[in-house]
Amino acid sequence: MNLAIIGTGKIVSESLYAIQSIENINLKAIYARKHSEEKGISFAKKYSIDTVYTDYDELLNNSEIDTVYIGLINSVHYEYAKKALENNKHVILEKPFTGTYEQACELVDIAINKKLFILEAITVLHSQIFKEMKSNLHKLGKIKAMLCNYSQYSSRYDNYLKGIVEPAFNPDLYGGALLDINIYNIHYCVGLLGQPRKSTYFANRGFNGVDTSGTIVLEYDGFSAVCTGAKDSDSPSFISIQGENGYMCIQGKPNVPQKLTMVLVDKNSIPQKDAAGALKRAINTIEFESDTKKHRMVDEFKNFVDIIDNNRSKEAKKLMDESLEVMKVVG
């Protein structure tokens, strides 16, 4: 993969760090806006990037580049991704995929028509933990509930309370809790359970209308998945799925899952009643831990390299469809 990095923000810094451990990624260029050129030059020196561009069109005209990674603010994802596709580049697009479902559909259509891939950089779908959840979900039996919470007090919230509105809290730039951190919860739900038949968002809104926190309820046949995301308050974060034959859960922030716990009913045992009169069933507990030594973005970039370099169109379509399904829920 001959890759160009678009942006110089925090997520770009993380991605460059993660990329260093991955073979077959050639860093050909980095794009910085004019006022961030010095930062782009610093990244180029640190990570041996060939060229620094301050003109996006000029970068896209570089025929050596086959893929761009876009790590810019949410509001320009659509614009920058569309231009890259129109210039015959594969696109790795930071979450959230776009601001609206209509934008997402247009980008995927362009990619398909030009035989290109546009892949959302959503870490959870590529994690060892998510794959374990997916392969063991059937053991829970009939699903009865899914509960998700990703809440953390934003480093930008104090400024917001003072009336200083940064992009993360600007609704016109697709800021807010739903598209920033609750999007991880929704990817778990859609990735494991499929498209809900209905979704309803209950938002807590700040003075400029942005959702500083909120809960979205995804309705499936026979049960609901409830996802809470907050940037204005703290809470223990988790993912939990419960079925008639047991449950599985992740404790901690959903975007960096470290350990999966599965608790399954022992069907060979005889259940006993507890003091409250409920049946107490014997259980077996299974735990799976991921490789905690590597950066959370390593697995996704390894997968992107494999998909693009080996033209794995079926795998790419699955990921593109997943992004569309999530955008249908939120946008």
DSSP 270: P
Q: Which residues contact 228 (CB under 8 A, 6 or more apart)?
A: 148, 149, 150, 151, 182, 185, 213, 214, 215, 235
pLDDT at 293: 76
> Are the beta carbons of 40 and 32 closer than 8 angstroms?
yes
What percent of the chain shows pLDDT beyond 70?
100
Per-residue pLDDT band at 76 (split at 50, 70, 90): very high
pLDDT at 267: 79
**CB-count exposure of residue 158 (10 Å: 0-12, 13-18, 19+):** exposed
Q: Helix 313-330 and helix 182-193: axis angle, to 10°?
A: 120
pLDDT at 179: 97
Per-residue pLDDT band at 56 (split at 50, 70, 90): very high
What pTM did the predictor assign? 0.94
Q: Taking 80 as the threshold, does the pLDDT of residue 17 lie above it?
A: yes
Using only C-alpha atoms, what is the Rg of the chain? 21
Q: For the chain, what are the domain ranges? A: 2-122+297-330, 128-289
Task: Name the least confident of 80-89, 267-276, 286-295, 307-316.
Answer: 267-276
Condensed to tens digits (0 to 9), the pLDDT of residues 124-148 reads 999 999 999 999 999 999 999 999 9
Average pLDDT, rounded, for the chain? 95
Per-residue pLDDT band at 113 (split at 50, 70, 90): very high
Phi, psi (rounded to 5 degrees) for 207:
-65, -25
Looking at the domain covering 128-289, what would its CATH class be?
alpha beta
Condensed to tens digits (0 to 9), the pLDDT of residues 248-306 reads 999 999 999 999 999 998 877 777 777 677 777 778 999 999 877 789 999 999 999 99
Say how many residues make up the chain: 331
CATH number of the domain located at residue range(s) 2-122+297-330 in this protein: 3.40.50.720
Condensed to tens digits (0 to 9), the pLDDT of residues 142-184 reads 999 999 999 999 999 999 999 999 999 999 999 999 999 999 9
Q: What mean pLDDT comes out for the span 309-325? A: 97
Phi, psi (rounded to 5 degrees) for 232:
-110, 5
pLDDT at 268: 75
Per-residue pLDDT band at 315 (split at 50, 70, 90): very high
pLDDT at 95: 96
